[in-house]
Amino acid sequence: MKDESSRVVIGMDPHKRSVTIEVMTADETVLGGGRFGTDEVGFAEMGRYISQFPDHVWAIEGCSGIGHHVAVRLLAAGEEVVDVPPKLTARARVFSTGQGRKTDATDAHSVALVGTRMAGLRPVVDDEQLAVLRLLVDRRRSLGEEHTRKTSQLHQLLLELIPGGAKRDLSAAQAKALLAKIRPRDVVGKTRRRVAAELVADLERIYARKKEANKELTELVKDTGTTLLDLHGIGPTGAARLLVEVGDITRFPNKAHFASWNGTAPIDASSGDQTRHRLSRKGNRQINRVLHTMARVQLRNPTQGRAYYDRKKADGKAPMEAMRCVKRRLSDIVFQTMLNDAVRTTRTPTRTGPGGQRSNDSDSSAAGSQPHTNSSDKPLPGPARTQPKTTLPAAS
């Protein structure tokens, strides 16, 4: 955001069929606002109202969620949009007047306050490649969830048809072979077998769709030029999820802030002479899940992650503590990999990262092919700097 006293921030609380906005100056003076529909008529009316503030920037809450549809329309109209995380809006609402009331108007006011006060909010960019990846990776996730749900239903029926049930890792072909050997005589048993057969057919269709989705995601991820697929434990789904959720990796000042964002950095819970840290349950849980899957895969194989896990256990850490150290280390490696990709794909002196944001050419704060191993036990970083961009080193 430009630091100009004449510029106004338009805070928006978005919904499916309506949006509530508030116009605020740099000194937090409210100039106006209102509620508008998201249909063509309402959107045009909002545009006419905003035209009286020619120098403005939109601050929209939840541009990755409910605010995405409005943000995309504004970007198509040539507007500048920044994303306001809901947690920042909640904090602003707590410390504002109104006894903590949560209405659309107070939410829009809180969003405008965050947009006015906070530097380094993430700009929203119209990247078609990432938009396609997001659609496909969300579809792939829904297929996985549907597969898990139907597999659980099938296991429940098989437990009632076969004494002891079936093994845990059961494929559709194996389930079909088991059902071929079952010949119930009562009506209830026959119904269970028929429903189980229908679930097996559903699983076969879902498996075929998952296979096609994985193939398409692999091709699209490779087209981005990322090297995330070279990391042990990251497949096409994990790489696509990292690309769409992270966007511009240079928006993180260093690997510690990236670990704080994805929830792998422990929280300092020291008191007095006792120094201790506890697990962070915040952060981006989807990226945390990608890192957890990556760690589990590495622990099942003779990898550097497994060796690091064994060293932490030898140092006296419990298995779960050692696992959290591995995830923290993998977070550093993913950060460095994505930063290296951003440097490699940058060609011009005025550099742009994957999300289209400009950076400078000074030395990187995360230079080096691998992050230091002693960062795994570090807690959350301190307050973010006013300029959160990670500087990019010159490409070799």
Q: What is the CATH number of the domain that holds 49?
A: 3.30.420.10
Query: According to the model, what pLDDT value does residue 87 have?
Result: 83
Q: Decide if 257 is inside a domain.
A: yes
Domain with 27, as residue range(s), is 8-123
Environment class of 244 (CB within 10 Å of its CB; exposed 0-12, middle 13-18, buried 19+): buried
Q: Decide if 384 is inside a domain.
A: no
Q: Decide if 385 is inside a domain.
A: no
Q: Decide if 1 is inside a domain.
A: no
Q: pLDDT tens, 78-136? A: 999 999 988 888 888 776 655 557 788 989 999 999 999 887 788 888 778 888 998 99
Q: Decide if 68 is inside a domain.
A: yes
Integer Cα distance of 136 and 130 in angstroms: 10
Same domain, 246 and 300: yes
Same domain, 239 and 183: no
Same domain, 26 and 53: yes
Query: According to the model, what pLDDT value does residue 251 have?
Result: 83
pLDDT at 307 over 90: yes
Nearest to 36 by CA among 25, 48, 28: 48
Asked which of 204, 223, 242 is the last residue of a domain, the reply is 223
| Encoded tokens for 215 | 């193939």
Helix (H, G, I), strand (E, B) or coil at 352: strand
Same domain, 219 and 249: no
Residue 305: partners with Cβ closer than 8 Å, 6 or more residues away: 232, 233, 294, 295, 298, 299, 326, 329, 330
Query: According to the model, what pLDDT value does residue 247 have?
Result: 83
How confident is residue 161, by pLDDT bands cut at 50, 70 and 90? very high
Helix (H, G, I), strand (E, B) or coil at 316: coil
| Encoded tokens for 123 | 């700009």
Same domain, 44 and 104: yes
Helix (H, G, I), strand (E, B) or coil at 249: helix
Q: What percent of the chain has pLDDT over 70?
A: 84
Query: According to the model, what pLDDT value does residue 347 have?
Result: 54
Asked which of 203, 223, 243 is the last residue of a domain, the reply is 223
Query: According to the model, what pLDDT value does residue 118 have?
Result: 84
Same domain, 369 and 239: yes
CB 223 within 8 A of CB 129: yes
Same domain, 93 and 189: no
Query: According to the model, what pLDDT value does residue 378 have?
Result: 53
Q: Which residues on neighbouring strands pair with residue 350, listed in sequence order? A: none
Integer Cα distance of 82 and 112 in angstroms: 11
Total count of domains within the chain = 3
Same domain, 202 and 240: no
Same domain, 321 and 271: yes
Asked which of 64, 99, 123 is the last residue of a domain, the reply is 123
How confident is residue 390, by pLDDT bands cut at 50, 70 and 90? low
Integer Cα distance of 374 and 84 in angstroms: 33
Rounded to 5 degrees, what are φ and ψ at 56? Answer: -150, 165
Same domain, 101 and 143: no
Q: pLDDT tens, 209-230? A: 999 999 999 999 999 889 999 9
Same domain, 47 and 89: yes
What is the end-to-end Cα distance of the chain in Å, rounded? 31
Residue 383 DSSP one-character state: S
Q: Decide if 382 is inside a domain.
A: no
Same domain, 253 and 363: yes
Q: Decide if 52 is inside a domain.
A: yes
Find the helix or strand (DSSP H, E) in which 113 lies.
Answer: helix 104-117
Query: According to the model, what pLDDT value does residue 145 have?
Result: 94
Query: According to the model, what pLDDT value does residue 24 have?
Result: 94
Query: According to the model, what pLDDT value does residue 331 have?
Result: 95
Q: Decide if 85 is inside a domain.
A: yes
Nearest to 331 by CA among 382, 280, 392: 280
| Encoded tokens for 273 | 């002479």
Query: According to the model, what pLDDT value does residue 362 have?
Result: 35
CB 265 within 8 A of CB 314: no
